[in-house]
């Protein structure tokens, strides 16, 4: 067996293992609101209506939604088909990470990086999270093109590929607005000279130019995460901005979560070992500039996300492949150092220790994948599946941003549902008129409108988002929410029959059942 054949066989095994380890999430995670929006977008009656929905209600560029629009017409709108598309991109990223690592150093580094990405808890966690795996694939491919372009003579085909992938990246997620400039700065440091680097940076700029057509839409979209913080007045929660310590904590915690080991205590131990190994490699001048650049770019991306106060690992997930290449180089360089300095011990123990550590990491990450899939992403899924939906019940979702999730899981039931819109930026399913969250009349108007809509229904189930709308204390301040005030007003007016919580990994809800017959009409 030749070396190339052996490498391909190992890579195929890694890709297969990465796909298998993502299956528990594919089968059991279910959808939550961001993913359910894709369903709502895709079932628009016309393509024009579809475009209107993604422009007015999504917080991202349109590429993934255009792909999903075509995908559902081939694969349908089942839970499995909607989850399969991002999972496919996640699996395709594994060989892309191999290519990035091989370009950075060697086939060994590429295989180690691909293996790390395949079993990375963060990559597994985000493998079904709609557009982020596609963004990760494009970011990895683009970094590979720039890395190869920095070393080799300029080729028109490569420059064209850089421009095309840059355009696709810009139209996938707004994180490209800081990722592309970072890549351009790296391109300018090309060892082949400034003119060479300017050509690569120019290809990146040419690929970014078409984004100008989308720029007006970007500037008027509701709460694009890149520009506006979650503490903008239009946000339904009033939460104090994070301080520097909060941001530093998120940065450090995400680095730990990005390591290819779970649980966090073991990841911390692995992180300390890798940090010590990196220090020894730097001291001994065993440097791989390209691999280190991958680690630096990942750290910069994470710092920008933390600095913007966007405390969500999904915003960092597209760059995890770069971090895996950085880690793979540390591991490969450390093992090579041991092999050269202690050849007898390496011959006796090297292969066995490597195999045992690899099996341990894979087994722990497999446990993570199964454990994570034990709880669905949305409690609405559990609620709808726990009991048949009742035509005698009016279902009210508060706030309205969860209505897409309910609409998906209730799509085959003949029931009435509506939503309470609590922000000045309505979602797809808008309840009533545009009621500002600052208006004291918003809740009263909602109660009156619900009284009119609930005629003929015996019960009303109020489905409230636990994570963002229950009374909680955070950093000494109380969360305030119009949805919470709506709940309090209803409890003061109508008999509460049951209250039950349905946990979800990203979207936990509590369902309050009220008796409405003979009560809601009196609210007018």
Residues 324 and 203 in one domain: yes
List beta partners, residue 477. Answer: 474
3-state SS assignment for residue 161: helix
Tell me what pLDDT residue 424 has.
47
Tell me what pLDDT residue 169 has.
97
Residues 213 and 358 in one domain: yes
Tell me what pLDDT residue 442 has.
65
Residues 288 and 267 in one domain: yes
Global pTM?
0.88
Tell me what pLDDT residue 350 has.
65
- For residue 337, is it within any domain? yes
Closest among 433, 431, 519 to 483, alpha carbons compared:
431
Contact 462, 495 (CB under 8 A): no
For residues 346 and 340, what is the distance between their CA atoms, to the nearest angstrom?
A: 9
H or E element, residue 300: helix 289-307
Tell me what pLDDT residue 519 has.
58
Residues 191 and 277 in one domain: yes
Tell me what pLDDT residue 188 has.
94
Closest among 373, 459, 289, 287 to 28, alpha carbons compared:
373
The last residue of a domain, from among 372, 389, 407 = 372
Q: Measured between alpha carbons, how far is residue 99 from residues 113, 135, 136, 292, 450 in Å?
A: 9, 17, 14, 16, 57
Residues 368 and 458 in one domain: no
CATH classification at residue 457:
3.40.50
Residues 288 and 424 in one domain: no
Tell me what pLDDT residue 12 has.
96
Closest among 132, 91, 130 to 301, alpha carbons compared:
132
- For residue 228, is it within any domain? no
Residues 128 and 100 in one domain: yes
- For residue 410, is it within any domain? yes
For residues 410 and 461, what is the distance between their CA atoms, to the nearest angstrom?
A: 14
- For residue 330, is it within any domain? yes
- Count of residues in the chain: 524
Residues 451 and 309 in one domain: no
Number of domains in the chain: 2
Give the angle subtended at the CA of 188 by the CAs of 184 and 194, to the nearest 5°: 150
Residues 165 and 297 in one domain: yes
The last residue of a domain, from among 372, 399, 420 = 372
- For residue 385, is it within any domain? yes
Our measurement of the distance from residue 6's CA atom to the centroid of its chain's CA atoms, rounded to an integer in Å, reads: 34
Tell me what pLDDT residue 475 has.
34
Residues 189 and 324 in one domain: yes
Tell me what pLDDT residue 522 has.
47
- For residue 272, is it within any domain? yes
For residues 128 and 239, what is the distance between their CA atoms, to the nearest angstrom?
A: 29
Contact 93, 117 (CB under 8 A): yes
Q: Measured between alpha carbons, how far is residue 57 from residues 211, 238, 401, 467 in Å?
A: 19, 21, 10, 21
Per-residue pLDDT of the chain (524 residues; tens, 9 = 90+): 688 889 999 999 999 999 999 998 888 888 988 889 889 888 888 999 898 888 877 788 999 999 999 999 999 999 999 999 999 999 999 999 999 999 998 999 999 999 999 999 999 988 988 899 999 999 999 999 999 999 899 899 999 999 999 999 999 999 899 899 999 999 999 999 999 999 999 999 999 999 999 998 888 775 544 444 343 344 433 345 677 888 888 899 999 989 988 888 888 888 998 898 899 888 888 789 999 999 999 999 899 888 877 778 888 899 999 999 999 999 988 888 777 777 776 666 666 767 777 777 777 777 777 777 778 889 999 999 888 898 999 998 887 788 889 989 998 888 888 888 755 444 444 433 333 333 445 677 777 777 777 777 889 999 988 764 433 433 333 345 677 778 888 888 889 999 999 998 888 899 999 988 765 444 44
511 CB-side CA count, 13 A: 22
Contact 172, 132 (CB under 8 A): no
- For residue 282, is it within any domain? yes
Residues 418 and 439 in one domain: yes
Tell me what pLDDT residue 500 has.
93
Our measurement of the distance from residue 13's CA atom to the centroid of its chain's CA atoms, rounded to an integer in Å, reads: 26
Residues 343 and 253 in one domain: yes
- For residue 56, is it within any domain? no
For residues 499 and 463, what is the distance between their CA atoms, to the nearest angstrom?
A: 10
The last residue of a domain, from among 372, 393, 416 = 372
Structural domain range at position 432: 379-523
């Amino acid at each position: 067996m030749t070396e190339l054949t052996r490498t391909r066989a190992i890579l195929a095994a890694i890709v297969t293992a990465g796909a298998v380890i993502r299956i528990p999430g594919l089968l059991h995670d279910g959808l939550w609101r961001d993913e359910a929006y894709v369903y709502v977008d895709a079932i628009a009656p016309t393509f024009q209506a579809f475009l209107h929905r993604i422009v007015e209600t999504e917080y991202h560029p349109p590429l993934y939604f255009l792909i999903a629009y075509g995908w559902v017409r081939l694969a349908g709108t089942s839970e499995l088909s909607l989850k399969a598309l991002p999972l496919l991109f996640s699996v395709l990223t594994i060989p892309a990470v191999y290519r990035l690592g091989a370009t950075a150093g060697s086939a060994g580094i590429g295989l180690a990086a691909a293996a790390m990405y395949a079993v990375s808890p963060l990559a597994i966690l985000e493998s079904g999270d709609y557009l982020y795996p596609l963004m990760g694939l494009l970011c990895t491919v683009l970094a590979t093109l720039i890395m190869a372009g920095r070393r080799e003579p300029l080729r028109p085909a490569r420059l064209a590929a850089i421009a095309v992938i840059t355009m696709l990246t810009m139209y996938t997620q707004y994180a490209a607005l800081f990722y592309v400039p970072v890549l351009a700065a790296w391109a300018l440091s090309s060892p082949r000279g400034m003119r060479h680097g300017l050509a690569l940076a120019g290809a990146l700029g040419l690929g970014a130019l078409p984004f100008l057509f989308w720029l007006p839409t970007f500037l008027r979209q509701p709460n694009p995460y890149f520009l506006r913080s979650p503490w903008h007045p239009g946000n339904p929660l009033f939460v104090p901005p994070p301080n520097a310590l909060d941001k530093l904590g998120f940065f450090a915690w995400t680095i730990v979560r990005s390591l290819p080991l779970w649980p966090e205590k073991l990841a911390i131990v692995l992180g300390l070992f890798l940090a010590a190994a990196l220090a020894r490699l730097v001291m001994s001048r065993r440097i791989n500039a390209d691999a280190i650049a991958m680690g630096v770019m990942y750290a910069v991306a994470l710092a920008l996300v933390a600095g913007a106060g966007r405390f969500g690992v999904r915003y960092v997930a597209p760059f995890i492949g770069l971090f895996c290449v950085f880690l793979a180089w540390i591991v490969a360089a450390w093992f090579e150092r041991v092999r050269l300095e202690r050849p007898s011990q390496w011959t006796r123990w090297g292969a066995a220790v490597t195999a045992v550590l690899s099996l341990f990491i894979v087994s722990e990450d497999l446990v993570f994948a199964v454990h994570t899939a034990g709880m669905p992403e949305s409690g609405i899924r559990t609620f709808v599946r726990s009991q048949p939906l009742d035509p005698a019940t009016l279902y009210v979702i508060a706030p309205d941003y969860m209505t897409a999730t309910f609409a998906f899981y209730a799509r085959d039931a003949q029931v009435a549902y509506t939503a309470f819109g609590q922000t000045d930026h309505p979602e797809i399913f808008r309840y009533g008129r545009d009621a500002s969250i600052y208006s004291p009349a918003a809740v009263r108007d909602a109660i009156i409108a619900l009284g009119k809509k609930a005629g003929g229904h015996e019960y009303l189930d109020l489905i409230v988002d636990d994570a963002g709308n229950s009374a909680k204390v955070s950093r000494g301040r109380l969360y305030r929410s119009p949805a919470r005030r709506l709940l309090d007003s209803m409890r003061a007016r109508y008999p509460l029959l049951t209250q039950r919580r349905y946990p979800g990994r990203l979207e936990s809800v509590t369902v309050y059942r009220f008796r409405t017959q003979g009560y809601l009409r009196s609210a007018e």
